[in-house]
């Protein structure tokens, strides 16, 4: 088995295609390319999408194939986000969304018959 290091580009073999006889010709045999984030102690790999989204899944080494690009590019892994970082990002997004909704609600006013009037119509 080939060992991959963080930042390597790989393809992931789609093992579901092998069991589906009829769909074998039309379904993709590989997913990717994906970036190797790290190798776990038991030899599995944590992978990330090219946009930086880290997969929760662990991939066995036998399912990975090196991605051979036409031009060689290396994507450095600068930092892997953990659960706390993701929670902060989600909370920041929801806070911004709630503030925008509250501002929009404050700018509108309900009439007695349930119609919403914007400040221009008042």
User: Is 109 within a domain?
Assistant: yes
The arithmetic mean of pLDDT across residues 97-103, rounded, is 58
Judgement on whether residues 62 and 87 belong to the same structural domain of the protein: no
pTM here? Answer: 0.55
Answer whether residue 2 is part of any domain.
Answer: no
> Which of the two residues, 64 and 113, has the higher pLDDT score?
64
Domain of 21 in residue numbering reads as: 9-66
Q: Which of 45, 100, 34 shows the shortest CA–CA distance to 67?
A: 34
58 shares a domain with 25: yes
User: Is 54 found in the same domain as 14?
Assistant: yes
- State how many domains the chain has: 2
In a domain, 77, yes or no: no
The answer to whether position 72 is within a domain reads no
**The predicted structure's pLDDT at residue 122:** 45
- Note whether residue 101 is domain-resident: yes
* Stretch 44-56: mean pLDDT: 88
Residue 71 lies in a domain: no
Residue 76 is assigned to a structural domain of this protein:
no
User: Strand (E) positions, 14-103?
Assistant: 30-39, 45-48, 54-59, 64-66
Reading the block at residue 33, the tokens are: 């390319």
Identify whether residues 50 and 23 lie together within a single domain: yes
Instruction: Report if residue 89 sits inside a domain.
Output: yes
């Amino acid at each position: 088995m080939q060992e991959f290091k963080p930042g390597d580009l790989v393809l992931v073999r789609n093992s579901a295609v092998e069991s589906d006889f009829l769909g074998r010709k039309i379904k993709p045999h590989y997913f990717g390319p994906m970036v190797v984030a790290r190798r776990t102690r038991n030899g599995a790999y944590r992978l990330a999408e090219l946009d930086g989204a880290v997969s929760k899944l662990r991939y066995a080494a036998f399912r990975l194939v090196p991605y051979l690009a036409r031009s060689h590019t290396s994507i450095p892994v600068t930092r892997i986000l953990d659960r706390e970082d993701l929670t902060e990002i989600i909370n920041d997004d929801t806070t911004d969304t709630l503030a925008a909704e509250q501002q929009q609600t404050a700018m509108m006013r309900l009439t007695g018959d349930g119609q919403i009037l914007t400040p221009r119509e008042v």
